[in-house]
C-alpha cells in the first residue's frame, strides 16, 4: 500500500503539473493570438484611415494644382489664338467672343416700332453766339448759324433719310419715325446711330466755321418714345426753349439779366423773374419792331422737311418732272397738333 500510495501520489502530482503546463501554454497561445489579431486589426484600421485621408488630401491637392495649371494654360492659349497678321479666333469662350459679348451687353438697340430723336448740341457754339452784344450783329450771326444748320441738315437727309429735322441756335434734332418693317439703320444699334450722326454734324458745321478759329465740339443723345405723339411733344418742348433762348439773347443786347430768372408764363414756364412776353414788349419798344413777326424764323427755329416738287418739262406734251428736295419752314409745332403730327412726323415726304 505504501508503494502504491507513493506511485499514485507521484502520478497525481505529475498529472497536475502537466495540466498546469498545458493551461499555461493554452493561455500563452491564446494571448499571443489575441495580441496578434489586435495588432493586425489596428494595423489594417490605421492603414485604411491613413490611406483614405492621404488619398483625399492628395486628390484635392492634385485637383487644385491641375485646375490652376489648366486655367493658366487655357487662358494663355485662348489669348494668343490670333495670329500676327489675322484675327483668327475659334471656339466658345475665346477672347474674340468674350469681347464681342461685352460690346453687345453695353450696346442697346432701339425699338423697331417706336419713334426716336437724336439731339445734337454744341456748348462752344452757344458761347460764341452769347459773346456778341450788338443786336444787329447778333441777328446776323443767328441767321448765319441757321443757314449753316440748314446746309448740314441737307447732308443728314442724304446720309440718314430722317422724317424731320428741327434746328435752332446751337441744336439739331433729327427725328425718325418707324416704318412698316420695323427695320432701322445699323440694325438699330443706338451707339452707331448717335456717333455717326454726331460725326457728320461736327464735320459739316466745322468746315463752315473753321475760319473763326475756336474749338467746336458736339455731343448727342438718343430719346425714344413709347407713344407716337410724344415725339411731337418733345419738339414742342424744344421749341419752347428755342423761343426763350432767342428772346433772351436779343434782350441781353439792351439789358443785363440773369438767364435763370427768365420765365415764359404764356408757355407754362413757372418761377419768378422776367417773363418772355415782358422781354418781347421791351424789345418792341426799344427797336420799334414787331418782334414776333420780325424774328419769327428765329423764334420758331428751322423745320426742315423733304418735299415733292412738280415741274412741267414741256408745255406741249405736258410732261411733269417729279423731284424731291429738302425745304425749310417756320411754324409752331403746337398749332393744330394733330395735323402737324401727321404732316411733319408720320409722313416722310410732304
Burial class (CB in 10 A: 0-12, 13-18, 19+), 155: middle
- What does pTM read for this prediction? 0.67
CB 77 within 8 A of CB 71: no
φ/ψ region of 264 (left if φ > 0, alpha if ψ in -120 to 50, else beta) reads beta
The beta-strand segments (E) located in the chain are: 116-121, 164-168, 171-176, 219-224, 262-263, 274-275, 302-314, 319-329
pLDDT at 297: 95
Quote the CA–CA distance of 114 and 107 in Å, as a whole number.
18
- Say whether 327 sits in a helix, a strand or coil: strand
**Packing angle, helices 123-131 and 230-252, rounded to 10:** 30
Q: Is the per-residue pLDDT at 98 higher than 70? A: yes
Q: What are phi and psi of 327, to 5 degrees?
A: -125, 175
Q: Which residue has the higher pLDDT, 192 or 312?
A: 192
User: What contacts 186, CB < 8 A, 6 or more positions away?
Assistant: 192, 193, 196
330: pLDDT strictly greater than 80: yes
Region of poorest pLDDT, from 2-6, 9-13, 74-78, 304-308: 74-78
Most confident of 77-86, 94-103, 232-241: 232-241
The reported pLDDT for the residue numbered 266 is 40
Q: Dump pLDDT digits (tens) for 150-194.
A: 999 999 999 999 999 999 999 999 999 998 888 788 989 999 999
Residue 262 has pLDDT above 60, yes or no: no
CA distance 201 to 150: 11
Q: Is the pLDDT of residue 244 over 90?
A: yes
Tens of pLDDT, residues 334-346: 999 999 999 999 9
Amino acid at each position: 500500500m505504501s508503494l502504491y500510495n507513493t506511485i499514485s501520489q507521484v502520478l497525481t502530482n505529475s498529472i497536475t503539473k502537466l495540466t498546469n503546463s498545458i493551461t499555461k501554454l493554452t493561455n500563452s497561445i491564446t494571448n499571443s493570438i489575441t495580441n496578434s489579431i489586435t495588432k493586425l486589426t489596428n494595423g489594417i484600421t490605421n492603414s485604411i484611415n491613413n490611406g483614405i485621408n492621404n488619398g483625399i488630401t492628395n486628390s484635392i491637392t492634385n485637383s487644385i494644382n491641375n485646375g490652376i495649371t489648366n486655367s493658366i494654360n487655357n487662358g494663355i492659349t485662348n489669348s494668343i489664338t490670333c495670329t500676327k497678321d489675322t484675327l483668327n479666333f475659334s471656339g466658345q469662350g475665346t477672347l474674340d467672343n468674350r469681347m464681342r459679348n461685352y460690346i453687345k451687353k453695353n450696346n442697346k438697340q432701339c425699338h423697331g416700332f417706336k419713334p426716336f430723336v437724336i439731339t445734337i448740341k454744341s456748348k462752344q457754339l452757344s458761347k460764341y453766339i452769347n459773346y456778341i452784344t450788338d443786336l444787329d450783329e447778333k441777328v446776323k450771326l443767328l441767321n448765319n448759324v441757321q443757314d449753316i444748320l440748314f446746309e448740314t441738315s441737307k447732308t443728314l437727309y442724304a446720309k440718314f433719310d430722317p422724317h424731320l429735322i428741327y434746328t435752332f441756335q446751337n441744336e439739331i434734332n433729327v427725328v425718325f419715325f418707324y416704318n412698316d418693317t420695323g427695320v432701322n439703320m445699323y440694325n438699330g444699334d443706338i451707339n452707331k446711330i448717335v456717333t455717326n450722326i454726331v460725326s457728320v454734324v461736327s464735320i459739316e458745321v466745322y468746315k463752315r466755321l473753321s475760319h473763326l478759329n475756336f474749338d467746336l465740339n458736339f455731343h448727342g443723345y438718343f430719346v425714344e418714345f413709347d407713344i407716337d405723339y410724344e415725339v411731337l411733344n418733345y419738339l414742342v418742348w424744344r421749341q419752347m426753349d428755342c423761343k426763350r433762348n432767342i428772346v433772351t439773347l436779343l434782350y441781353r443786347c439792351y439789358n443785363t439779366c440773369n438767364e435763370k430768372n427768365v420765365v415764359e408764363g404764356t408757355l407754362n414756364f413757372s418761377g419768378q423773374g422776367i417773363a418772355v412776353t415782358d422781354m418781347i414788349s421791351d424789345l418792341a419798344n426799344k427797336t420799334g419792331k414787331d418782334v414776333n413777326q420780325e424774328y419769327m424764323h428765329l423764334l420758331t427755329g428751322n423745320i426742315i422737311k423733304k418735299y415733292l416738287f412738280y415741274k412741267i418739262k414741256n408745255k406741249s406734251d405736258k410732261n411733269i418732272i417729279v423731284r424731291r428736295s429738302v425745304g425749310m419752314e417756320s411754324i409752331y409745332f403746337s398749332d393744330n397738333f394733330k395735323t402737324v403730327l401727321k404732316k411733319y412726323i408720320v409722313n416722310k415726304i410732304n
